Chains A and B, each alone.
Chain A
């Protein structure tokens, strides 16, 4: 009997963990929201970044700012698209996100994490960077600043309150800055170079989806998705008019 119980224990534990996972992530009933963000209007030209000598050696081509990255069919990149419903909460899905420093630039320029989710910050350059997070005052997120003097150094950080977007910057190289969108759930995406996005694993329900761009502003759309349903959205953001 003892042998039987000893055999059953690990299998019961396994079964228990599988059931718990299924309860948290309803994979079988997950919907998908995808689409494209387009830019209306002609954006101002990007400015060329003048790097110092050491960083300049790491960048064979001229580097510009990334305020408006417009791809095929006026698709706008680096737009943070997320479900805005305040009551929606879910744990992170997938591996920890990575914010890399490559050639004295942050990659990616815009990324997203879930509140409380640890994400990695890596220095891939053969020189020193500092990593300075500057959340908005009163957001509930803590400002931090630390050095990464060694190539390959990885640190893990997290933000505990939702905030779209938290700016990360390097004060050693003031042109280096990037943004992290922090939400209470993993139902977000950042548009690719052609303005496309896809949010997977969304539970069935009625949502407000916001597309937020640092320069072109934000727009929202209401969407209702059923189990396993796929919905496509298209947003058009405008280049702001001169004052």
Chain B
């Protein structure tokens, strides 16, 4: 195929604008700049999640009471001199979100014009729908004064990041060339990574529920909970906990539900770390530690350990905004890594049962893969 460096298939299309032929575009699976742009969009989305975390960590989500305007201004012309206090975080969040929306639309158009795989073009369209829905959810959370909407907003943010990262993975040379080997069967490790990613998503949703209750720390100590391994949660005890708090900011009173939720969050965290250790060992044993999945699984485990440390630090620092925000952002990263690893393992094929079939670089023994060795090195 002319213009393709990897011998990939493609199709040519003529695009007409206003009845005059202006360009001849070629659809291909090999679009390195499209891949780089998808990576950029993913990075911008992750930054946006950081800023969103800062908004909730500082408790300033309602500091701009109107939407899509900002104190009556067109948001893009809101004077910088008025970006004070909580407005700085909330307004920055809105502006960066607009930027991510624009990047997503460009990514969609780029995919529509240059990407050969129809399902991937549809994924690009889905990403646009998701980013629009995300913006509307964010706006409604402000104008409808509903904390619950914030939970959906936070959850969709995580799913959107996964979506964009998936597009980045699907447009990568690694994915395209691995696909040439015809390894399409899902193995135990892939399913395991996917199940663990589901648990991480559940954990992130629990975290979002905790954050969007705007009640601060429901349990102020760790590893104990109000000095016990399982805290009292009757009405009298909860009332006493609230009376004992010396809150500096306007946090809501805590409830027994929130205390129970934080206990579930702690327990699920331990389960996830154990599961990731198991999955990482499995992937490394299968593909080798120096392979891309092997390296990613090691990184995944390290990320999870950092995440647990940040979770503990969130409590020990009395929910310091920076620490709590880092906990949100690294949580998003751990979800992305889990899903990417699951997709990679799925792409490469069965793992546990056929470990001997793969060499240390993750390539299947006896199956030629032109260019793969160079890319994996």
The yes or no verdict on A and B being binding partners is yes
A interface residues with partner B (beta carbon < 8 Å) = 44, 46-47, 49, 52, 54-55, 65, 67, 127-128, 130, 132, 134, 143-147, 149, 167, 169-177, 215-217, 240-243
Which of B36-44, B83-91, B322-330, B339-347 has 4 or more CB atoms under 8 Å from chain A? B83-91
Given contacts A171-B63, A173-B86, 20 further A-B contacts (CB under 8 A): A44-B244, A52-B85, A130-B63, A130-B65, A134-B250, A146-B65, A147-B64, A149-B82, A171-B61, A171-B86, A172-B63, A172-B85, A174-B59, A174-B60, A174-B249, A174-B250, A216-B243, A240-B244, A241-B240, A243-B237
A60 to B62, CA, bound (A): 28
Max count, chain B CB within 10 A of own CB: residue among A54, A143, A174, A217: A174
* A172–B60 CB distance below 8 A: yes
Q: Known interface pairs A147-B71, A169-B250. Does A243 touch B58 (Cβ–Cβ under 8 Å)?
A: no
The B235-256 residues at the A interface (CB cut-off 8 A) are: 237, 239-241, 243-244, 246-250, 252
Report whether B145 and A128 are in contact in the complex, using a CB–CB cutoff of 8 Å.
no
Shortest beta-carbon distance from B191 to chain A in Å: 41
Distance between Cα atoms of A174 and B247 in the complex (Å): 11
B274 interfacial contact with A, CB 8 Å: no
Nearest CB of chain B from residue A66's CB, rounded to whole Å? 11
Q: With CB as the reference atom, state the residue of chain A lying closest to B142.
A: A145
Asked whether, in the complex, the Cβ of A172 is within 8 Å of the Cβ of B84, the reply is: yes
Q: Which one, B58, B86, B244, B250, contacts A167 given CB within 8 A?
A: B250
Within 8 A of A (CB), among B58-78: 58-66, 71
List chain A residues, Cβ under 8 A from B232: 243
A170 to B59, CA, bound (A): 10
Can you give 30 contacting A-B residue pairs, CB < 8 Å?
A44-B244, A44-B246, A47-B248, A49-B248, A52-B85, A54-B85, A55-B85, A128-B84, A130-B64, A132-B65, A134-B250, A145-B62, A145-B145, A149-B71, A171-B61, A172-B60, A172-B63, A172-B84, A172-B85, A172-B86, A173-B86, A174-B85, A174-B86, A174-B249, A175-B250, A216-B243, A217-B243, A240-B240, A241-B240, A243-B244
Task: Specify which of B60, B66, B240, B248 is in contact with A171 (CB 8 Å cutoff).
Answer: B60
Which 9 A-B pairs have CB atoms at the shortest separation, nearest pair first? A177-B250, A169-B250, A171-B63, A172-B85, A174-B249, A240-B243, A171-B62, A145-B65, A172-B63
Assuming the contacts A172-B63, A174-B59, A243-B244, asked whether A127 and B84 have C-beta atoms less than 8 A apart, the reply is yes
Measured between beta carbons, the chain A residues less than 8 angstroms from B237 are: 243
Residue on B nearest A127 in the bound complex, by CB: B84
Q: Known contacts A146-B65, A243-B226, A243-B232; is A173 also within 8 Å of B243 by CB?
A: no
Least distance between B84 CB and chain A CB atoms (Å): 6
Please give the number of chain B residues whose Cβ is less than 8 angstroms from any Cβ of chain A in the complex. 31
- B245 CB to closest chain A CB (Å) equals 8
Tell me if B227 counts as interface (CB < 8 A to partner A). yes
Chain A residue contacts of B65, Cβ below 8 A: 130, 132, 145-147
Residues of A contacting B71 in the complex (Cβ-Cβ under 8 angstroms): 128, 147, 149
Residues of B within 8 Å of A171, CB to CB, are 59-63, 86
Closest chain B CB from A138 CB (angstroms): 14
Q: Which residues of A contact B226 (CB under 8 A)?
A: 243
User: Taking each of A47, A171, A173, which has the highest tally of chain B beta carbons within 10 Å of its own beta carbon?
Assistant: A171
CA distance A176 to B248 in the complex (A): 9
Q: How far is the CB of B99 from chain A (nearest CB, A)?
A: 23
Q: In whole angstroms, what is the CA distance A166 to B246 when docked?
A: 18
Query: Contacts of A47 on B, CB cut-off 8 Å?
Result: 246, 248
Q: How far is the CB of B86 from chain A (nearest CB, A)?
A: 5
Picked from B87, B241, B249, the residue with its CB within 8 Å of the CB of A128 is B87
> In the complex, which residues of chain B have a beta carbon less than 8 angstroms from the beta carbon of A217?
239, 243
Chain B residues 71-117 with CB under 8 Å of chain A are 71, 82, 84-87
What residue of chain B has the Cβ atom nearest to residue A44's Cβ? Answer: B246
A78 to chain B, nearest CB (A): 14
Q: Which residues of B contact A175 (CB under 8 A)?
A: 248-250
A243 to B252, CA, bound (A): 19
Q: Which residues of chain A are within 8 angstroms of B82 by Cβ–Cβ distance?
A: 128, 149
A166 → chain B closest CB, angstroms: 12
Q: Which chain A residue lies CB-closest to B62? A: A171
Asked whether A243 lies within 8 Å of B241 as measured between CB atoms, the reply is: yes
How far in angstroms is the closest Cβ of chain A from B344?
42
- Are A243's CB and B227's CB within 8 A? yes
CA distance A134 to B241 in the complex (A): 21
Closest B residue to A68 by CB, please name it. Answer: B246
The residues of B that contact A176 with a CB separation of less than 8 Å are 250
Q: Are A132 and B62 in contact (CB under 8 A)?
A: yes
How far apart are the CA atoms of A57 and B84 in the complex, in Å? 14
Which of B65, B82, B85, B250 has its CB near the most chain A CB atoms (within 10 A)?
A: B85
Residues of A within 8 A of B59 (CB): 171, 174
Distance of A13 Cα from B240 Cα, bound (Å): 57
Cα–Cα, bound, A55→B84 (Å) = 10
| B16-60 interface code vs A (CB 8 A; 1 in, 0 out) | 000000000000000000000000000000000000000000111
Bound complex: CA of A107 vs CA of B324, how far in Å? Answer: 31
Write the nearest CB–CB distance from B252 to chain A, whole angstroms. Answer: 7
Which chain A residue has the least Cβ–Cβ distance from B59?
A: A174
| A52 surroundings in chain B (CB, below 8 A) | 84-85
Q: Please determine whether A243 and B240 come into contact, CB atoms closer than 8 angstroms.
A: yes
Least CB separation from B60: chain A residue? A171
Q: Are A147 and B85 in touch, CB under 8 angstroms?
A: no
